[in-house]
Each structure stands twice: as structure tokens, then as C-alpha cells.
Amino acid sequence: MRKLTAAFLAAGAVFAAAPALAADMPFYPPVIDVPDVDYGVSGSFYLRGSAAGNALWSKEAYAWDCTACGATQITVPVTAWGYGYSVGAGFGYETGTGLRFDATVDLVNNSGLTVTHPASSGWRAGDYKVNLRSTIALANAYYDFSFGGNYGYGAAGGAFGYVGAGVGAAFNDISVSGPVGGPTVPSGQNTSLAAAGMVGVGYDFGTIVADVGYRGLYINKITNSAAPPDTAWTDNNWLHEVRGTVRYRFN
């Protein structure tokens, strides 16, 4: 009986002391999982390289006709496209919001733009073919937009499309080959306004971004800059390109 009474008394003491013991124990708050904050895509610098096939067209060409040793300007139709290629490189920055900017330099080769000249006192009738080498320097701006996912711009990864525009200068070097027996047209150089519009699609792999697209390149004037009656030139020239480009991000 004494043992049973002692057991009850001990149990009562434990229950009486429990609140005080609980108050002395440290409190650990429940663990809450906080999702990572998505800060979006940060800006980054990049290098780019491009290669393209091109086709050159101009509506008409101009020359001086030596009539009785007096130079008279004449208009001559362009009858065939010129074809060629280009390679280029550039450096740029993408903001992470879809906008990006770069400066590019392209080396253009194009041959075969054909001017069909009528018979005149200064020219032999026949086809005159223009061979163009040009260095194109442009400052460009683009907007990338995503084709899917939860992102609003291509720089976030995956497939994307883009539109862009550029402005700069073309440094042209031309030579002209004419019909057998015709006059020799002097080679020459000129500098002209250049502008471009771009559209295309690509895929963002992370560090590497690849795209393929169209660039319409406007060259205001191509001429050999010779004195009359040896001057030959074309205005409002369009170089149509299909280009592939690879970009490498630094960060």
C-alpha cells in the first residue's frame, strides 16, 4: 500500500512540474520552404560571327555618253542579278529584356550584276557586268521574342524570333567587265550610306545562341568615281541576304 501511494504522489509531481519544464525548453519555429526568387535574365556582352549568301539588284544604272566629245548622262537598264557571299563579325550587348544592340563589320563579295548598254558613240552595245567588293559597317538594334515557355523574350532560352534594323556605311570597290572590243571601264571606290532591316528565328542554348534570318541591305550608291565620260554608277541598290549567325555570351 505504501508503494502504491508513493507512485501516485510521484506521478502527481511530474504532472504539476510539466508546465514549468515546457516553459524552460527552447522554441523551434516550423520550417517554411521559400521558393527561389526569379530575377529574370540579366544583361550580357557577346561576340558574333555570320556567313551569308547574297543577291544584288538595282533598277537601273547611269553613265556618260561621249557624243562629239561632250558628255551626256544616259540611263541604262539592269538586266540580271548579281550573286555572292559575305562573312562578318561583331560585338554587342543584350539587356535581358529582349532588346540587344551590336556593331558589325561584313565583307561582301558579289559578281554578275548586268547592265545591258545600247550602241552609242562612247560605248559598245552589250552586257557590262559589275563586280563588287564592299566592307559594310553597321550599328544595329534588335528585339528578341520567345516562341514558347513562361518567358517574354528569347534571351531566356529556347526558340525565339527577332526583328532588327541597322544604319552605317558601305565602303565599295567595283570593277566592270564589258563586251569584247568595248571600252575599258575604270575600276574605282566610293563610300555610301548603308541601312539594313533584319528578321529571323533562332535557338538559345545558354552560352551559345544560333539563328538564321534574312537581311535586306540598302546601299545608296555604287560608283567607280571616275571623271566623265568614264563614270558609271547605280543608285538605290538592294543586297538580299540569307544569313546564319552564332553568338557567344561572356556571362
pTM: 0.79
In the block, cell 539563328 appears at 211
Give the residue among 173, 219, 174, 171 at the shortest CA–CA distance from 194. 219
Cell of 221: 550608291
Task: Give the pLDDT confidence score for residue 187 in this predicted structure.
Answer: 92
Q: Are strands 158-177 and 126-146 parallel, antiparallel or unpaired?
A: antiparallel
CA 42 to CA 32: how far, in whole Å?
A: 28
User: What confidence score (pLDDT) does residue 70 get?
Assistant: 61
Q: How far apart (Å, rounded) are the C-alpha atoms in residues 249 and 44?
A: 6
* Highest-scoring range by mean pLDDT, 37-51, 105-119, 232-246: 232-246
d(CA 82, CA 58): 10
Does 7 score more than 60 pLDDT? no
Alpha-helical regions (H) of the chain: 2-24
Predicted pLDDT of residue 31: 60
Secondary structure of 16-56 in HEC code, one letter for each residue: HHHHHHHHHCCCCCCCCCCCCCCCCCCCEEEEEEEEEEEEE
The domains found in the chain, sorted by start residue, are 43-249 (2.40.160.20)
* Residue with cell string 502527481: 12
CA nearest 79: which of 191, 234, 222? Answer: 234
Radius of gyration from C-alpha coordinates of the chain: 36
Per-residue pLDDT band at 25 (split at 50, 70, 90): low
Query: Are 58 and 105 spatial neighbours (Cβ–Cβ below 8 Å)?
Result: no
Residue type, 46: Y
> Which three-class secondary structure state does DSSP give residue 110?
strand
Contact indicator for 87, 107 with CB cutoff of 8 Å: yes
CA distance linking residue 170 with residue 53, whole number of Å: 18
How much is the mean pLDDT over the chain? 83
What per-residue confidence (pLDDT) applies to 237? Answer: 97
- Map residue 196 onto helix, strand or coil: strand
Better-predicted residue by pLDDT, 115 or 70: 115
